[in-house]
Amino acid sequence: MSVKQTQRLKQGINSVTGGIYKIQRFCINDGPGLRTTVFFKGCQLRCKWCHNPETIPARRTFLLNHDTCTLCGRCVTVCPVNAHKIEAGTHTVDRNSCTFCGKCESICPVDAIEIAGETMSVSDVIEIIRKDQIYYAESGGGVTLSGGEPMMQPDFAGALIQECKEAGYSVYVDTNGAASPGVYNSVVKDADGILFDIKLINSRKHLEYTGMANEQILKNFRNSCPMDKDLIVRYVVIPGINDGAGDLTELCDFLEKCGFDGELELLAYHRLGLRKYASMGLDYELSAIEPPSQERMNEIQSYLRSNNLQAVYRK
């Protein structure tokens, strides 16, 4: 390939754009070392316990924190489509008419409004990532693509991974695995590691709690095991949903049959995202579920270890 062709190709890759929720620096829980985590917008699943519901819609998302809002009315004044209303001490927003102009977000004196998501090019993202590269070598870190779900934007994810690899960064992909084999393989092929979120093994329950059956997800996981990559399973323990004896036995059996010998990271369900549901005008269906105790998490860790899995629960 000529120099000009290479330059044109590179320009093409750098100008690919995608929907990004945010880029978080100095992350310590998204793969090895210090990492820069790029949160994609859009997800195919509707997990009832999702703690980042603002990443689920592919388009931008409007959030209004009613706890912070002082009802000052400035947003009402600036909104060009009259989406805000304050009546009888109650602030409502017509999200359907919002054009995401950002005027209310800018004028709010208490940051009660957030418009989540923006369009960025690969080079925009790389520019931010580059600020952290000094920490990668020392800590064994790098970049992690997360979400939302990177598989929802395979061209953008692929182009970003390509650029990161060219710059010499380690790349991990945090995924729910819900993609066709073609899409899945095209995204993970150049990644160094995969953080694979397994929600439930039972497909009927998976459908009930995430809105999607899991046959294809588990197939993608199975196919990932022989890949020459650091494959880590993430399992969020949700009391009464996936922590029963049957659920854990199914998990052990499945991982054993796959020949999985990597780390199984246990995460305790929490309700830190609850306020976001109200901010988006949504109900949170699992409000009755309490987070698991540390004793229960330790118990599950021991059980999984007794089944020859490298289960790790980090508090």
Which residue, 84 or 199, has its beta carbon nearer to ligand SF4?
84
Angle at alpha carbon of residue 63, lines to 55 and 109, rounded to 5°: 135
3-state secondary structure 238-263: CCCCCCCHHHHHHHHHHHHHHCCCCE
Distance CA 250, CA 303 (A): 13
* Least distance in angstroms from the C-beta of 52 to ligand SF4: 21
Which residue, 94 or 166, has its beta carbon nearer to ligand SF4?
94
Which residue carries 């059996």 as its tokens? 253
Which residue, 50 or 83, has its beta carbon nearer to ligand SF4?
83
Contacts 24+ apart (CB under 8 A), 278-284: 278/66, 279/63, 279/64, 279/65, 279/66, 279/114, 280/53, 280/54, 280/61, 280/62, 280/63, 281/93, 281/95, 282/53
Which residue, 116 or 129, has its beta carbon nearer to ligand SF4?
116
* Least distance in angstroms from the C-beta of 50 to ligand SF4: 23
* Least distance in angstroms from the C-beta of 87 to ligand SF4: 12
* Least distance in angstroms from the C-beta of 112 to ligand SF4: 4
* Least distance in angstroms from the C-beta of 92 to ligand SF4: 11
* Least distance in angstroms from the C-beta of 121 to ligand SF4: 23
Query: Considering only CA atoms, which of 226, 160, 222, 215 is closest in space to residue 196?
Result: 222
Which residue, 81 or 312, has its beta carbon nearer to ligand SF4?
81
Which residue, 59 or 189, has its beta carbon nearer to ligand SF4?
59
Contact 264, 310 (CB under 8 A): yes
Query: Considering only CA atoms, which of 52, 53, 56 is closest in space to residue 42?
Result: 56
* Least distance in angstroms from the C-beta of 116 to ligand SF4: 12
* Least distance in angstroms from the C-beta of 82 to ligand SF4: 8
Per CB under 6 A, residues contacting ligand SF4 are 69-75, 78-79, 81, 83-84, 91, 98-104, 107-108, 110, 112-113, 115
Contacts 24+ apart (CB under 8 A), 306-313: 307/252, 307/256, 308/256, 309/252, 309/255, 309/260, 309/264, 310/261, 310/262, 310/263, 310/264, 311/264, 311/266, 312/263, 312/264, 312/265, 312/266, 313/266, 313/268
